[in-house]
């Protein structure tokens, strides 16, 4: 089964992954056996009972009880096994252990925010301790998203105005990719994040230092890093190319025409407003789709992003 897993599935890096894979293989192998068996039977019978001469007459067969019971009972047993197995796995997957470490998740078009107990918010980076159950409590700021971590075999829809949750226990230190699996607009396919699994000790250290790591960084450098870290570059290029939002190149102090015809100079106040209340004013020719960064970027970080944009002339 391990060989088959390696061939068909991503690596199994959570405590529940193997049980989920076992059921997957059972359904898969059973289906292949039935497919091959039925195909061989069809070919064999169509050869065996082929028309041999012009006066061949097909016999009238009303029914065959033994055969009918067999082909009803065998699939019934298979379906019951799949149901029982799947249901117990499902119950396990929707019941997080009581001591699970909780992390809040907010899906926005098109990024993932992870909120920790310390108040720290990381964008598109989920940091978790190894060998400890983690419960994600999730909601969306706008439309439907869906959080999917293939290595952990967990996936759950993320909805506006309602909480959903999932849990997993990572078994290996390392990185795993996180996808959005609900089509949510233009940059849906870029709505990616990474799960970083740390040792218990490293995770504590990360939690303590995550917010302060940028303290003594040069503003322009910090701004550039924040633009990547907060996924601004998913929609705003730095080289003049047009993505979902206006490019940052040449933005600083340029004259911008808004949807309502108003002309605005892109100064500090305009950029700050665009970050905190992105839908207050929309550039002509663009859609009001940017999420607000109020609460996830502080003043120093906003200043740093403005300093970085200033350098993109
Ligand atoms: Cu979010 Cu697709």
* Domain boundaries along the sequence of the chain: 2-46+64-93, 101-210, 213-310
Q: Indicate if ligand 1 lies below 6 Å from the C-beta of 191.
A: yes
CATH class of the domain whose range is 101-210: mainly beta
Q: Does domain 2-46+64-93 have CATH number 3.40.30?
A: no
pLDDT tens readout for residues 215-251: 678 888 888 888 888 888 888 998 988 888 899 999 9
Separation of CA 42 and ligand 1 centre (Å): 45
The label of the residue with tokens 């409590």 reads 137
Contact status, residue 174 vs residue 197, Cβ threshold 8 Å: yes
308/221 Cα distance (integer angstroms): 7
At residue 213 the predicted structure's pLDDT band, cuts being 50, 70 and 90, is low
**Secondary structure (DSSP) of 120-136:** -EEESEEEEETTSEEEE
89/82 Cα distance (integer angstroms): 10
At residue 148 the predicted structure's pLDDT band, cuts being 50, 70 and 90, is very high
pLDDT, residue 211, reads 66
Calculate ∠ Cα 235-236-237, nearest 5°: 120
Calculate ∠ Cα 179-184-185, nearest 5°: 120
Q: Indicate if ligand 1 lies below 6 Å from the C-beta of 113.
A: no
Nearest protein Cα to ligand 1, atom 1: 145
**Secondary structure (DSSP) of 1-55:** -HHHHHHHS----BTTHHHHHHHHHHHHHHHHHHHHHHHHHHHHHHHHT---STT
Report the CATH superfamily, name and number, of domain 213-310: Cytochrome c-like domain (1.10.760.10)
pLDDT tens readout for residues 164-196: 999 999 999 999 999 999 999 888 998 999 999
Q: Using CA of residue 306, residue 140, residue 122, residue 237, what is the dihedral sign?
A: negative
Separation of CA 277 and ligand 1 centre (Å): 21
Q: Between helices 219-229 and 299-310, what is the axis angle to 10°?
A: 100
pLDDT, residue 75, reads 92
| 272 class by beta-carbon count within 10 Å (0-12 exposed, 13-18 middle, 19+ buried) | middle
Q: Indicate if ligand 1 lies below 6 Å from the C-beta of 143.
A: no
Q: Indicate if ligand 1 lies below 6 Å from the C-beta of 182.
A: yes
Mean pLDDT across 87-113: 93
- Hey, is 274 helix, strand or coil? helix
At residue 126 the predicted structure's pLDDT band, cuts being 50, 70 and 90, is very high
Q: Indicate if ligand 1 lies below 6 Å from the C-beta of 188.
A: yes
For residue 143, give the ligand 1 atom closest to its CA: 1
197/206 Cα distance (integer angstroms): 11
Confidence (pTM)? 0.77
Residue 226's nearest CA partner among 112, 126, 303 is 303
pLDDT, residue 201, reads 94
- Hey, is 264 helix, strand or coil? strand
């Amino acid at each position: 089964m391990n060989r088959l897993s390696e061939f068909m599935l991503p690596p199994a890096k959570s405590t529940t992954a193997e049980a989920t894979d076992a059921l997957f293989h059972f359904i898969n192998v059973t289906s292949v056996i039935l497919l091959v068996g039925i195909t061989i039977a069809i070919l064999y019978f169509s050869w065996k009972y082929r028309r041999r001469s012009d006066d061949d007459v097909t016999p009238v067969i009303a029914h065959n009880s033994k055969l009918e019971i067999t082909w009803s009972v065998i699939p019934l047993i298979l379906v019951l096994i799949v149901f029982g197995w799947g249901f117990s796995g499902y119950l396990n997957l929707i019941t997080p252990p009581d001591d699970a470490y909780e992390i809040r998740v907010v899906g926005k078009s098109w990024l993932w925010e992870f909120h920790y107990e310390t108040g720290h918010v990381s964008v598109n980076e989920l940091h978790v301790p190894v060998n400890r159950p983690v419960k994600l409590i999730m909601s969306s700021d706008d439309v439907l998203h869906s959080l999917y971590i293939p290595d952990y075999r967990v996936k759950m829809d993320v909805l506006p105005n309602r909480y959903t949750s999932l849990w997993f226990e990572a078994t290996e230190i390392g990185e795993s990719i996180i996808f959005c699996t609900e089509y949510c607009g233009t940059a849906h396919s870029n709505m990616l994040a990474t799960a970083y699994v740390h040792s218990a000790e490293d995770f504590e250290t990360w939690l303590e230092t995550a917010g302060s790591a940028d303290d003594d960084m040069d503003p322009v450098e910090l701004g550039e890093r924040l633009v990547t870290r907060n996924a601004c570059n998913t929609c705003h290029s730095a080289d003049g190319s047009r993505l979902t939002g206006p490019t940052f190149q040449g933005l600083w102090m340029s004259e911008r025409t808004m949807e309502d015809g108003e002309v605005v100079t892109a100064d500090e106040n305009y950029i700050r407003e665009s970050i905190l209340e992105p839908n207050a004013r929309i550039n002509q020719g663009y859609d009001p789709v940017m999420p607000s960064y109020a609460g996830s970027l502080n003043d120093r970080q906003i200043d740093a992003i403005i300093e970085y944009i200033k350098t993109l002339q």
